[in-house]
Structure 1
Amino acid sequence: MARTGRPRAFDKDQALERALLLFWSRGYGATSVQDLVDALALERGSLYGAFGDKRNFYLAAVQLYWDTYEHRLVEALASGPVLPALREVLATPARTEEYAAEAGGPQGCMIGNTTAELVPQDAEARELVARSHARFTRIVADALRRGQAEGEVTRSATPEAQAQLLLFTVQGLSLVSRAGLDTAAALAAVDALIDALRA
């Protein structure tokens, strides 16, 4: 009778969620394999067996981050007025200090962090980031197109160009938030952009 091997003594999805928070708070380079072993209470062999090396583990965590973000983005823009929903999407990075108030809390946008830390030299990370940016732009452009059709959003630019502007804004805010951010000033800038989109 063929041996099936020992079942894993941990929940892989739960381990990935916990690793996501660790990578998000510390970054890729500052998170060691030993940090992951300690935080997840796993043996090194179990970690490598389930996820491969640290880089593959990190990219899986980034993909989980994006999948969760995309689900919330689609849900936020699914119905109702577009501009108030977009304001909340843009305002989230400006409120990072609220979410990261605890020591070791998440820092910035994980897609943006990956861009800064891995993309220059990692083709797979670059592809993951590019795919995430394209999805963001497509989802937001669809919402803006609906807003234009309903007379809520200005037609002074295409929905695609408007969505690109919003991508640059949300990524820029996420990056700046890591260095400290005047929340009131950031929210005023978000409001100015939303007003510029108003029909």
Structure 2
Amino acid sequence: MTRTGRPREFDKERTLERALELFWSRGYGATSIQDLVDALTLERGSLYGAFGDKRRFYLDAVKLYWEVYERHLITTLDTTPLLPALREILTHPARLDELISDMGVPQGCLVGNTTAELVPHDSEATKIVTRSYRRFTDIVADALRRAQAAGEVTDASSPEAQAQLLLYIVQGLSLVSRAGLDRSAALTAIDTAVDGLRA
């Protein structure tokens, strides 16, 4: 159906949130401009005017995803004891069945998906994911440093090395989850990793 008339008013922030859900469930390459127009009930002109092309729209969605995730990460890890909070962070990819949206099931971590789909060929995407991974390890290392000082977490290795290991675990789980995940086996592996941090 051809849309005519004046472009409709819309909430830009809410529109970006809805686009994030669509990109997250389908991926960058599999989401067309027409998919966005249909799902967001926007005129093409309004979409281009507000967000630019599909690539710019996607990268803005990835940035929003990380902003929300980082706030959650900081809040979750600002607790004592730390190890149960770390377990919650690590189990997120193993709980995808709890994250169903009306646009489909989100697949893994959007930052990890961007790494798989756009890095290293897109320099801006590479900068976004590199910064996101660095922020993850910085935030987690700070929390681990506090937990080491409190005697909860082993000091056999540095907080930075421990945080890097946890990044590899959470991103590996996110990637594997896209192909289907044995939830029980994943949770057992996570428990093993968390136990390995215990003092």
Task: Output the CA distance in 2 between the equivalents of 1:54 and 1:100.
Answer: 24
CA RMSD of aligned residues (A): 1.6
Question: Aligned partners of 2:100, 2:159: CA distance in 1, in Å?
Answer: 33
Partner SS state of residue 120, structure 1: coil
Q: Equivalents in 2 of 1:142, 1:29: separation in Å?
A: 36
For normalisation by structure 2, the TM-score amounts to 0.94
Structure 2 partner of 1:36:
36
Q: Is the 8 A contact 2:7 2:45 kept in 1?
A: no
Out of 19-28 and 93-102, give the one that drifted further: 93-102
Query: TM-score, normalized by length of structure 1?
Result: 0.94
2:21, 2:103 within 8 Å by CA — same for their partners in 1? no
Task: Read off the aligned partner of 2:28 and give its amino acid letter.
Answer: Y
* Identical residues among aligned pairs (%): 70
Contact 2:37–2:43 (CA<8 Å) still a contact in 1?
yes
Assess if the C-alpha contact under 8 Å between 1:100 and 1:107 holds in 2.
no
CA contact (8 A) 2:23 2:31 kept: yes
Shift of 1:102: 7.0
Contact in 1 for aligned 2:93/2:109 (Cα 8 Å): yes
CA distance 1:7–1:38, change in 2 (3 Å): closer
Matched, 1:82 2:108: no
Aligned to 1:3: none
Q: Contact 2:79–2:85 at 8 Å: present in 1 too?
A: no
Partner of 1:185: 185
Residues paired across the two proteins, number: 194
1:77-116 deviation per Cα after TM superposition (whole angstroms, max 9, x unaligned): 1122111100000011111233248772211100010000
Structure 2: give runs of 5+ residues left out of the alignment: 1-5
User: 2:139 is matched with which residue?
Assistant: 139
Tell me how far apart the structure 1 counterparts of residues 97 and 64 of structure 2 sit (CA, whole Å).
22
Query: What is the aligned partner in structure 2 of residue 159 from structure 1?
Result: 159
Correspondence 1:148 to 2:148: yes
Separation in 1, partners of 2:101, 2:10:
30
